[in-house]
Amino acid sequence: MKEGAYPALAVFAGNIPFELKGAGTRDNPYMITDANELGLICYRPMACYSLTADIDLSGITWSTAVVPWFSGSFNGNQFCVRSLKIIGADYLGFFGTMAPGAEVTNLRLEDVSIVGTGDYIGGLTGENDNGSISSSYVVGEIRADGSSIGGLVGRNDGSILSSYFTGTVSGKNLIGGLVGVNNYCSIRSSYSIGMVSGDYSVGGLVGFNDVGIIRSSYSACAVSGKNNIGGLVGQDLYGSISSSFWDKETSGLTHSAGGADGTIGRGGTPSRSGSIGLSTTQMQDINTYLDAGWDFVGETTNGTEDLWKFQAGTYPSLAAFSRMVPVELQGAGTLDDPYLITDVNELGSVWFHAMAHYRLAADIDLSNIDWCNAVVPWFGGSFDGNGFRILSLHIQGGVYLGLFGILVSGAEVTNLGLQDIFIEGIGDCIGGLAADNSGSISSSYCIGSVSGNDTIGGMVGNNSGSISSGFSTGTVSGKNTVGGLVGHNSGCISSSYSTGIVHGEEYIGGLIGDSHAGRVPDPGIIASFWDIETSGLTESPGGTGLVTAQMQDIDTYLDSGWDFVGETENGTDDIWWILEGQDYPRLWWEADDN
């Protein structure tokens, strides 16, 4: 038996056994053409890689993950790595750990065999630690003696989109057909088919959903275990599951954690809330999914991402694996040469490369299109609105709704306007621009209606990043933690304002609903305001409340250091302008003659 091993000491002498074509950057990644070159990734785990051919690993057995730790980007380019075999302890998979910011897309792994004695084991990665996985799949067998075992990912603390597993998965505890543990992060438009077995917390799709998000996904796995077993999810702790299904016949189970009521909703259509168990016939009926808001190729009512395909008599399949990719975009996706977005179809493709750089090149009207999820569920790149607007965004769904679902640390959104938005959620964490922001938002605005249950904001639901030079206006409503600009703040908000009507029951505020500082003034909010007349609120745990006349007086903002056109005392960036006494401050790029 030939073992997979690395000549580890060579790197300390400055020697890399094989040179790779490319520069390891996003616009010029290292090219991987064979098994030897694949083994070199561990030497430069922060670089960018691209497969250029199928790779057969027959005859090689690894005792660790092929790449034990990875924080770069890996584009499989729809090529396939076959016959991966690993016999080892823990943190096993093609990748052992995907570190924060890591991105894997278009990777196909077939005939996978992984046997582990420990924890955190999955076909693609043992642990996804705030990375992004999209349009990837694993076919094979995953067997382990430990916990947190999944067909695709052992433990997911990041994003999984448009991916699947087929085969068998077995372990002890926290066992899932796709993911063992989904921890505070998201799985969207993914599925699992095969067999899943274990002792405790065993699910067809996810073993243990720990405050995680599952959207528009399904399982057709046979599931067996002792306690906390479910057709879709074995155990759910405060998670959010919507528009997701499991096959009661193939699973052998009529129950799942996170289930709504296990029945078809009113009007004969599936509920969009919770996980729903259906017969095989219902699971193989496209109307089941269309009525639940799934986005299929050839229809635009449910969005323009074209995630799913359907053939009568089968379960839905992912379009990405039919050699279909979203529309080709102008640009290279780099900071210097970003992808250009000119229409609704191109906007719908942003999810496909969630760590790339984008720039709007035209206003985009989303009228007559309904989403049930965030348009871009997870984003870690940059999005420059370039002074253009996205119009008539309409989303009705569960939780983490907005143009962006989650903006991770390092993500940037700037110079973007959202007008005539209507976002209505039945759950928590909802905002016009982003549900959850750990990145940076600047010189942007939201106008419209945002509603939900808890942590609801006109621009951002939960903010732990930065918001500067932004505003929101319209109506914001919810039950708890509701704010005109931000629902809950633990980050920084500067030179921003809100004028919208705010409705709620507890922890509501004109600018923010609540903050990490509690109900005392939040030190992270600087030179920011809300209109106490239009909002109907005189309180906010951060910011300054003013009457409309003061909100339309330039001196209010000049005295607070805002940078306006025509003055240099507060800077020369010319961020704001105002029609005094007639309107609130506007971003300079909004001016028609700019």
Q: How far apart are CA 136 and CA 104, in angstroms?
A: 8
Q: Quick one: CA torsion of 455, 456, 458, 463, rounded to 10 degrees? A: 20
pLDDT, tens digit, 9 for 90 and up, residues 376-402: 988 889 999 999 999 999 998 878 899
Closest CA to 172 of 138, 214, 208: 208
Q: What is the mean pLDDT of residues 496-512?
A: 96
Contact residues for 8 (Cβ-Cβ < 8 A; gap 6+): none
Confidence of residue 262 (pLDDT cuts 50, 70, 90): very low
What does DSSP say about strands 80-82 and 108-116: parallel, antiparallel, or unpaired?
parallel
* Sequence letter at residue 329: L
As a whole number, the mean pLDDT across the chain is: 90
Q: How far apart are CA 323 and CA 312, in angstroms?
A: 20
What domains lie within the chain, and their CATH numbers?
61-294 (2.160.20.110), 339-551 (2.160.20.110), 556-594 (no CATH)
What is the predicted pLDDT for the residue at 16?
Answer: 52
Q: How far apart are CA 394 and CA 367, in angstroms?
A: 8
Q: What is the mean pLDDT of residues 421-442?
A: 94
What is the predicted pLDDT for the residue at 594?
Answer: 42
Return the SS3 of 345.
Answer: helix
What is the predicted pLDDT for the residue at 261?
Answer: 37
Residue 68 CB neighbour total at 10 angstroms: 18
Q: How far apart are CA 420 and CA 448, in angstroms?
A: 5
Under DSSP, the state recorded for 298 is T
Confidence of residue 114 (pLDDT cuts 50, 70, 90): very high
Cα separation values, 106 from 4, 330, 339, Å: 24, 20, 18
Position 267 pLDDT exceeds 50: no
Q: How far apart are CA 42 and CA 64, in angstroms?
A: 12
What distance lies between CA 46 and its chain's CA centroid? 21
Contact residues for 368 (Cβ-Cβ < 8 A; gap 6+): 300, 301
Kindly report the three-state secondary structure assignment for every residue of 543-571. Answer: CEEECHHHHCCHHHHHCCCCCECCCCCCC
Q: How far apart are CA 489 and CA 571, in angstroms?
A: 27
* Sequence letter at residue 140: G
> Would you call 585 exposed, middle or buried from its count of C-beta atoms within 10 A (0-12, 13-18, 19+)?
buried
Q: How far apart are CA 543 and CA 523, in angstroms?
A: 9
pLDDT, tens digit, 9 for 90 and up, residues 538-568: 999 999 999 999 999 999 999 999 999 999 9
What is the predicted pLDDT for the residue at 242?
Answer: 85
Confidence of residue 271 (pLDDT cuts 50, 70, 90): very low
Confidence of residue 27 (pLDDT cuts 50, 70, 90): confident
Q: How far apart are CA 441 and CA 454, in angstroms?
A: 22
What is the predicted pLDDT for the residue at 501?
Answer: 96
Q: How far apart are CA 9 and CA 16, in angstroms?
A: 10
> Would you call 263 exposed, middle or buried from its count of C-beta atoms within 10 A (0-12, 13-18, 19+)?
exposed
pLDDT, tens digit, 9 for 90 and up, residues 115-147: 999 999 999 999 999 899 999 999 999 999 999
Residue bearing tokens 């990375």: 131
Under DSSP, the state recorded for 232 is S
What do you get for the CA distance between the two ends of the chain, in Å?
A: 69
Residue bearing tokens 């506007």: 586
pLDDT, tens digit, 9 for 90 and up, residues 453-474: 999 999 999 999 999 999 999 9
Q: How far apart are CA 184 and CA 120, in angstroms?
A: 16
pTM: 0.79
Q: What is the mean pLDDT of residues 316-330?
A: 79
